[in-house]
């Protein structure tokens, strides 16, 4: 690994001597490395990442999207002292492109390492939930006036829940690994709840919810919180920024921050939605978005949490049936365990829908 990352790094505009590297973070998609260099006697860190091109079929378009978004962010941050901690900074390859393609056709990119901040897989305090949601809300606002053409769709139909269900139907019909039998209860839950899938798309088709540029992967470990102040300082993992619905972004925050348990927790009694977290998320997102959300978007914030949690549960179940081809897994049944936490959380959110609506009323008086 050291030799590979050292070699790859030599193709980027990185000065100094390579010291060491290690696998980094707990993302399910890309291969992420922390790489450390000696620059004139100082240890300087970078993030070096291999883009998963099984999933992102057009990596050059993807990097074009990211470059546009980051240029836009940097313009807005001009003059601010810590601009390189408040938005990712791409390190170009030696040929000036924002990526490098190695001899095997693998796509690599590098970012400045955002130091003195970290990501969390599970949140303990509502204050962190508020800060994270505020950062994603502000990011939503920032994306609203990005100039130029519509961004590329890096994964078509990414949050199209009916299309995710159609993928599930195919996987179930094929049952290539003979695993359907072991997921009977989850399949039943899915079938009972599938009617909710098209609600947001229907509202968009009726013109009640606008298309926006959205992040689309606002899980809690895709925002860095400052170690000292707790502020949501830098939104990361920008691969899925594309046209979407703002509620996808709020919904994924609810999915990943309301439960005190990990996404792959096996003990389901530990999985439930904490309303104090929902309140903090909603308050932070509304504040960050600074009035750019419409009444229909605000009204559907509680629903979006249920929908996105259901949708990701469907995707985990589909991948389990398909033989774990999409998400990185570390153990037998990992995707099924993940699906179970998602469906348990959907249930908990459904049971508390009235409370969430009450909270929203309190916030948008
Ligand atoms: P994936 O798509 O696999 O989730 P991410 O881009 O989210 O990949 O990166 C994985 C993890 O690496 C993040 O959760 C974060 O902890 C860390 N990370 C990514 N980029 C940076 C950065 N520029 N500075 C510091 N840490 C980072
Ligand atoms: C993946 O890349 P990461 O780990 O932040 C996935 C999301 C899922 C999430 C589930 C491109 O996110 O859509 O919601 O796992 N990203 C992609 O944890 O599929
Ligand atoms: Mg990530």
> In this structure, which residue's CA is closest to atom 8 in ligand 1?
27
Q: pLDDT tens across 25-62, in order?
A: 999 999 999 999 999 999 999 999 999 999 999 999 99
Ligand 2 centroid vs 29 CA: distance in angstroms?
7
Summarize pLDDT for 270-326 with one digit per residue, the tens.
999 999 999 999 999 999 999 889 999 999 999 999 999 999 999 999 999 999 999
pTM over 0.95: yes
Compute the average pLDDT of residues 193-207. 97
CA of 212 to the centre of ligand 3 (A): 21
The protein residue with its alpha carbon nearest to ligand 2, atom 15, reads 28
List pLDDT tens digits, range 115-157.
999 999 999 999 999 999 999 999 999 999 999 999 999 999 9
Q: How far is the CA of 154 from the centre of ligand 2 (A)?
A: 13
pLDDT tens, 8-24?
Answer: 999 999 999 999 999 99
If you average pLDDT over residues 245-252, what whole number do you get?
98
Pocket test of ligand 1: the residue of 236, 238, 312 to mutate, having most ligand atoms within 8 Å of its CB, is: 236
Residue 1 has a pLDDT of 82
Q: What is the pLDDT of residue 361?
A: 97
**27 Cα: distance to centroid of ligand 1 (angstroms):** 7
List, chain by chain if needed, residues with CB within 6 Å of any ligand 1 atom.
24-25, 27-30, 32, 47, 88, 111, 113-114, 119, 221-222, 236-237
**Ligand 2 binding pocket includes 313 (Cβ within 6 Å):** no
Kindly report the backbone phi and psi dihedral angles of residue 12, in degrees, each rounded to the nearest multiple of 5, phi listed first: -110, 165
Q: Which of 47, 59, 69 to mutate to test the pocket of ligand 1 (most atoms within 8 A of CB)?
A: 47
**Ligand 1 pocket test: which of 108, 119, 122, 225 has the largest number of ligand atoms within 8 Å of its C-beta?**
119
The whole-angstrom separation of Cα 26 and Cα 19 is 23
219 lines ligand 2 (CB under 6 A): yes
**pLDDT value of position 365:** 79
């Amino acid at each position: 690994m050291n030799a590979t990352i050292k070699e790859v790094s030599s193709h980027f505009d990185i000065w100094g001597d390579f010291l060491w590297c290690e696998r980094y973070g707990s993302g399910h998609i890309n291969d992420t490395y922390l790489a450390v260099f000696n620059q004139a006697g100082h240890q300087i860190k970078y993030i070096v990442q291999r883009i998963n091109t099984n999933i992102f079929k057009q990596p050059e378009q993807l990097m074009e999207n990211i470059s546009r978004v980051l240029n836009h962010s940097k313009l807005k941050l001009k003059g601010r002292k810590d601009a390189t901690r408040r938005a990712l900074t791409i390190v170009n390859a030696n040929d000036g492109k924002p990526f490098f393609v190695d001899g095997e056709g693998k796509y690599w990119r590098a970012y400045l390492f955002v130091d003195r901040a970290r990501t969390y897989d599970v949140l303990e305090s509502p204050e962190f939930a508020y800060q994270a949601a505020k950062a994603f809300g502000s990011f939503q606002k920032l994306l609203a006036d990005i100039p130029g053409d519509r961004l590329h769709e890096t994964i078509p139909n990414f949050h199209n829940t009916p299309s995710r269900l159609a993928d599930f139907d195919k996987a179930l019909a094929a049952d290539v690994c003979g695993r359907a039998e072991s997921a009977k209860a989850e399949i039943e839950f899915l079938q009972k709840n599938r009617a909710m899938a098209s609600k947001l798309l229907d509202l968009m088709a009726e013109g009640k919810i606008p298309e926006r540029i959205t992040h689309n992967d606002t899980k809690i470990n895709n925002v860095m919180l400052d170690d000292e102040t707790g502020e949501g300082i830098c939104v990361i993992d920008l691969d899925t920024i594309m046209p979407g619905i703002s509620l996808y972004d709020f919904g994924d925050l609810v999915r990943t921050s309301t439960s005190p348990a990990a996404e792959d927790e096996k003990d389901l009694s530990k999985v439930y939605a904490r309303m104090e977290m929902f309140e903090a998320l909603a308050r932070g997102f509304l504040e960050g978005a600074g009035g750019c959300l419409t009444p229909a978007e605000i009204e559907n914030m509680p629903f979006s949490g249920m929908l996105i949690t259901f949708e990701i549960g469907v995707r985990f179940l589909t991948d389990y049936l398909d033989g774990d081809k999409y998400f990185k897994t570390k153990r037998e049944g990992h995707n099924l365990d993940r699906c179970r936490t998602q469906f348990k959380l959907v249930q908990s959110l459904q049971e508390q829908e009235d409370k969430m609506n009450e909270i929203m009323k309190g916030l948008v008086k």
